[in-house]
Chains A and B, each alone.
Chain A
Amino acid sequence: MKRARILPPLALASASLSACAGPLSTLDPAGPSADAVANLWWVMFWASVLLFLLVGGLWALVWLRPGFGRSLAPMRWVVLGGLVMPGVLLTLLVGFALYIGERLLPHALADPPPRVSAHGIMWQWQFSYPDIAGAATTPTLHIPAGAPVDIVVTSGDVVHSFWVPRLAGKIDAIPGHRNVIRIQADRPGTYEGVCAEFCGDGHTTMRFRVEAHAPQDYRQAVLEAAP
Chain B
Amino acid sequence: MSRSDVPPLYLLLIPLGFVIWSIAFVTLYAANAIGCAFGWDMGAQRMVLIALALGFLALSTLASFRIWRFWTGRARHQPAPAASLAQIGTYTALSALAASLGTFVPGLAVSLCI
A interface with B by C-beta (< 8 Å): 87, 90-91, 94-95, 98, 101-102, 105-107, 180
B102 touches A91 (CB 8 A): yes
Task: Give the number of chain B interface residues (Cβ < 8 Å).
Answer: 8
On whether the beta carbons of B111 and A98 are closer than 8 Å, the reply is no
Across-interface contacts of B109 in A (CB, < 8 A): 98
Assess whether B106 is interfacial by the CB under 8 Å rule.
yes
Assess whether B114 is interfacial by the CB under 8 Å rule.
yes
- Chain B contacts of A107 at CB under 8 A? 111, 114
For residue B78, give the distance in angstroms from its CB to the closest CB of chain A: 25
Q: Is B1 positioned at the interface, with any CB of A under 8 Å from its CB?
A: no
Across-interface contacts of A102 in B (CB, < 8 A): 110-111
19 A-B residue contacts at CB 8 Å?
A87-B98, A90-B102, A91-B102, A94-B102, A94-B106, A95-B106, A98-B106, A98-B107, A98-B109, A98-B110, A101-B110, A102-B110, A102-B111, A105-B111, A105-B114, A106-B114, A107-B111, A107-B114, A180-B114
List B84-109 residues whose CB lies under 8 Å from chain A.
Answer: 98, 102, 106-107, 109
Residues of A within 8 A of B102 (CB): 90-91, 94
The 10 A-B residue pairs whose C-beta atoms are closest, nearest first, are A105-B114, A102-B110, A94-B106, A105-B111, A98-B110, A98-B106, A95-B106, A102-B111, A106-B114, A107-B114
